[in-house]
Amino acid sequence: MRILIREVKNHLDSEVEISGWAQNIRIMSSVLFIELRDVSGTVQGVLLKKGNEELFDSLKTIPRETVMSMEGQAVKSQAKIGYEVQIKNLEILNKSETPLPLGVVDKIDSDIETRLENRYLDLRRPEKLSIFKVQSTIANSIRDYFVQQGFIEIHSPKIVAAATEGGTELFPVKYFERNAYLSQSPQLYKEIMMSAGFDRVFEVAPAFRAEEHNTPRHINEFTSIDMEMSFVNDDDVMDVLENVIKVAGQSIAESNERELEILGVSKPSLDYKFKRISYSEFVKMANQRGIKLKDGEDLSTPVLKTVGGEINEFYFITRWPRELKPFYVQPFDEEYSRGFDLQFGELEITSGAQRVHSPEVLVNNLKNKGLNPESFSFYVNAFRYGMPPHAGWAIGLERLTMVLLNISNIRETTLFPRDRTRVTP
């Protein structure tokens, strides 16, 4: 039975069978060394020419990254990791072609375009694989947390008729004889679920944004972790969000020690209370730092860089001006709303809010934003027959991964990024 390479150390002095990619093959006169890699790590296989002439000769010309299985004795040795496998049998399962379009063990990192073009090879590198092992921990720990807290997981449609925020950031799709769009957010549907009485829901699913900008933090298809709860306000869901981030950080610290080591990053230490800074305070902070910013203006990237850059931790910006938030955000007073963002330094990770629950306020807000309530009737109707007060938020999984692993380009935390110029692979 095949075992994973990292399990070899538990089978010293016995026979093992391992499979993987031959990332390096070296011949020292009458000894051949094969560095075999699988998802769990690497180990050296050793083959003596004496007694294995035929196999030895056939392996001399085997290209790197060939997939093979080997059987042999696991023994302690001089190898860096302290043990190796003395090959008895070896089967080539699939020979690699040469030359490789992208080196896997080469020390020099190729440019990101070449790497993305050959992503299957790029992802064979332990440091790239590690990013996605950690991302899996993040998504699973958040999912577990929600389930424990009594949330129902939902799957809302990704082909929709109306724009969530009425914006232009939508990809049109031909839907038989009509026009439809790829969903930019499950916002309207998760709110409808509050009217449906589901009380608390979450969804982990793709969101599509036809945003033209090409930045290190935007992609055109990202994974949105969304939640919505009934009978709560903005402060309550900020508490939930803080817990969720801490649970994710804790899970990484517990489950991904090896990956963090490979990536050279330390365990996330999140044992502080996330500050809640109001939008107006933030504007003051900007002005104190010499930025001319009026209350009511959006917080641009340079503003977030200057002020947020100094706050090297998670913090909320709360009570945003109503003008700057979508129609479904509950007003706090005439000017401000119950909308908030979670930031890490200059980067926005989450936006959330207590939502409007009164159908009259909703219709008014839609009109004020220049939207036609008629095109939202499937949504507005859900507010007319008993909609509870509710609140929720959405985190971008790729952005959260960036922050927790200190990675500066979102393309690194996305398996197959979709950006302004890339739709393949």
Residue with smaller CB distance to ligand ATP, 20 or 352: 352
Stretch that binds ligand ATP, among 129-137, 216-224, 281-289, 306-314 (CB under 6 A): 216-224
Hey, what amino acid is at 39? V
Least separation in angstroms between CB 224 and ligand ATP: 6
The mark string for 160-199 relative to ligand ATP (x by CB under 6 A, - otherwise) is ----------------------------------------
Least separation in angstroms between CB 348 and ligand ATP: 5
Are 276 and 234 in contact, with CB atoms under 8 Å apart? no
395 has which bridge partners? Answer: 225, 350
- Kindly write down the DSSP assignment for every residue of 176-218, as one continuous string: TTEEEEE-S-SHHHHHHHHHTT--EEEEEEEEE-------TT-
Residue with smaller CB distance to ligand ATP, 222 or 282: 222
Rounded to 5 degrees, φ, ψ at 19 are -135, 150
399 binds ligand ATP (CB under 6 A): yes
Q: Which of residues 14-53 bind ligand ATP (CB under 6 A)?
A: none
User: What is the C-alpha separation between 89 and 111, in angstroms, rounded?
Assistant: 39
Task: Retrieve residue 278's tokens.
Answer: 């109001």
Return the biggest CA–CA distance within the chain: 87
The mark string for 327-366 relative to ligand ATP (x by CB under 6 A, - otherwise) is ---------------------xxxx---------------
Residue with smaller CB distance to ligand ATP, 62 or 210: 210
Q: For residue 373, is the peptide bond before it cis, meaning its omega torsion is within 30 degrees of 0? A: no
Q: Which of residues 285-324 bind ligand ATP (CB under 6 A)?
A: none
User: What is the C-alpha separation between 111 and 70, in angstroms, rounded?
Assistant: 34
Residue with smaller CB distance to ligand ATP, 203 or 398: 398
Are 45 and 66 in contact, with CB atoms under 8 Å apart? no
Q: Which of 71, 199, 211, 242 binds ligand ATP (CB under 6 A)?
A: 211
Q: Which of 66, 224, 337, 354 binds ligand ATP (CB under 6 A)?
A: 224
Stretch that binds ligand ATP, among 59-67, 133-141, 237-245, 390-398 (CB under 6 A): 390-398
User: What is the C-alpha separation between 25 and 37, in angstroms, rounded?
Assistant: 12
Are 199 and 229 in contact, with CB atoms under 8 Å apart? yes
Site residues for ligand ATP per CB under 6 A: 209, 211, 218-219, 222, 224, 348-351, 394-396, 398-399, 410
